[in-house]
């Protein structure tokens, strides 16, 4: 089903017409993407108790949100018109036009917000909209500016599966909180040592942030290595390594079991030590950006930084198809951890020729990959 939908969408977005500036492809694609996000944002206004995160509901500056939605709808119609004028095939322009019209039918920025008082169970659709806007706005231009693989477009094979993962990781924020945050906080509070917390919080926030980075990546390193070495864990981590293309979406391909175990065990020592909440939040903000960055189809030329901070080339080798790339580069932030523990692999000036695991092909789609580790031979 996912593969069929991917083909249909690829026919819409990745047709055989030129995609350079001035052909209507960029305006049409942006119009469709912005139209989908505008419709999603309007659904959040219509059903706030069911589709928004409770901690964020009362923090949104609603006048600005409404203004942004109205402005987005205007931009959608402009982009749709440009695509219709410039492109021989009109599918992109028509799709953007229809999405803009749907946003108007849904009430645009003037939607009255009615709170029902229900919504004990909710989807974080608002978090998905915010995450898509911020992440795509940063990484899509970055990948177009200096791509590693110039022939790889945004709608490469497997993009819809990874988009499903991106949606699930944001929209299922309540489930992630129950499965990851709650156990880590409860266990961390039980194991916490007040004197250690006082010592940690006496340091400046910048020092605490750097300490969070080191402690978290040490935990990440050994948990990550265990997922490669222990067969029952590898079945779940294999889902992440089944990606055969690398870009900003590929990092989202993580099995639920992998997410729960890894994030819970990485968060636990931060809570036990008792770092200031602001330092922990700064670390979480950093890792949300950095985890996307290291998977990107991006080839920066900063060899001086590669020695101290994980860059795309380092992590691409972790996903490499070559035999020598197996079980290397486990650190996510600090590459010198792999030098310490003998798992560092970064051939000078070279990138892997491909990605994935030889002779392993996962089924397409988030749901199918969710059950795949339980049933595959």
Q: What is the pLDDT of residues 214-268, one digit of tens each?
A: 999 999 999 999 999 999 999 999 999 999 999 999 999 999 999 999 999 999 9
User: Is the pLDDT score of 21 beyond 80?
Assistant: no
Q: Which pLDDT band, with edges at 50, 70 and 90, does 303 fall under?
A: confident
Percent of the chain with pLDDT over 70: 94
CA R_g for the chain: 22
Residue with tokens 């490499």: 320
Q: What is the pLDDT of residues 65-117, one digit of tens each?
A: 999 999 999 999 999 999 999 988 888 999 999 999 999 999 998 988 877 66
Q: What is the pLDDT of residues 109-122, one digit of tens each?
A: 898 887 766 668 89
Which residue pairs from 343-349 have beta carbons closer than 8 angstroms and sit at least 24 positions apart in sequence? Answer: 343/225, 345/317, 346/306, 346/313, 346/314, 346/317, 347/317
CA separation for the pair 16, 33 (Å, rounded)? 20
Tokens found for residue 7: 């083909």
User: If DSSP codes are grouped into helix, strand and coil, which group holds residue 320?
Assistant: strand
Q: What is the pLDDT of residues 23-67, one digit of tens each?
A: 888 899 999 999 999 999 999 999 999 999 998 888 999 999 999
Which residues make Cβ contacts (< 8 Å) with residue 334, sequence separation at least 6?
A: 213, 214, 217, 308, 309, 310
Q: What is the pLDDT of residues 349-375, one digit of tens each?
A: 899 999 999 888 899 999 999 999 998
CA separation for the pair 304, 271 (Å, rounded)? 33
Helix 125-145 and helix 277-293, axial crossing angle in degrees, nearest 10:
50
pLDDT score of 16: 65
């Amino acid at each position: 089903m996912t593969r069929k939908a991917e083909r249909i969408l690829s026919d819409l977005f990745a047709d055989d017409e030129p995609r350079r500036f001035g052909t209507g492809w960029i305006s049409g694609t942006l119009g469709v993407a912005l139209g989908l996000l505008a419709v999603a944002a309007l659904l959040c206004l219509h059903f706030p108790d069911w589709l928004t995160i409770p901690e964020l509901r009362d923090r949104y500056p609603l006048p600005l949100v409404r203004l942004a939605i109205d402005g987005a709808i205007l931009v959608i119609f402009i982009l749709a018109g440009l695509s219709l004028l410039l492109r021989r095939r009109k599918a992109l322009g028509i799709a953007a036009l229809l999405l803009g019209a749907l946003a108007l039918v849904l009430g645009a920025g003037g939607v009255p917000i009615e709170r029902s008082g229900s919504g004990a169970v909710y989807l974080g659709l608002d978090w998905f909209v915010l995450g898509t806007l911020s992440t795509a706005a940063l990484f899509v231009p970055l990948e177009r500016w200096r791509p590693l693989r110039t022939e790889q477009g945004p709608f490469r094979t497997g993009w819809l599966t990874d988009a499903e993962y991106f949606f699930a990781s944001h929209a299922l924020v309540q489930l992630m909180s129950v499965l990851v945050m709650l156990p880590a906080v409860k266990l961390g509070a039980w194991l916490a040592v007040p004197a250690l917390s006082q010592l940690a919080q006496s340091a400046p926030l910048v020092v605490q942030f750097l300490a969070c980075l080191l402690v978290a990546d040490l935990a990440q390193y050994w948990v990550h290595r265990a997922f490669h070495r222990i067969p029952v864990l590898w079945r779940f981590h294999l889902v992440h390594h089944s990606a055969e293309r690398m870009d900003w979406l590929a990092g989202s391909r993580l099995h639920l079991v992998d997410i729960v175990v890894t994030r819970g065990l990485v968060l636990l020592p931060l809570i036990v030590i008792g770092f200031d909440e602001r330092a922990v939040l700064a670390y979480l903000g950093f890792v949300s950006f950095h985890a996307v960055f290291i998977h990107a189809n991006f080839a920066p030329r900063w060899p001086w930084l590669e020695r101290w901070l994980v860059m795309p080339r380092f992590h691409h080798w972790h996903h490499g198809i070559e035999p020598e790339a197996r079980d290397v580069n486990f650190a996510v932030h600090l590459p010198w951890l792999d030098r310490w523990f003998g798992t560092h692999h970064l051939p000078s000036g070279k990138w892997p020729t491909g990605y994935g695991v030889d002779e392993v092909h996962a089924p397409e789609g988030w749901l199918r990959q969710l059950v795949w580790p339980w049933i595959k031979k």
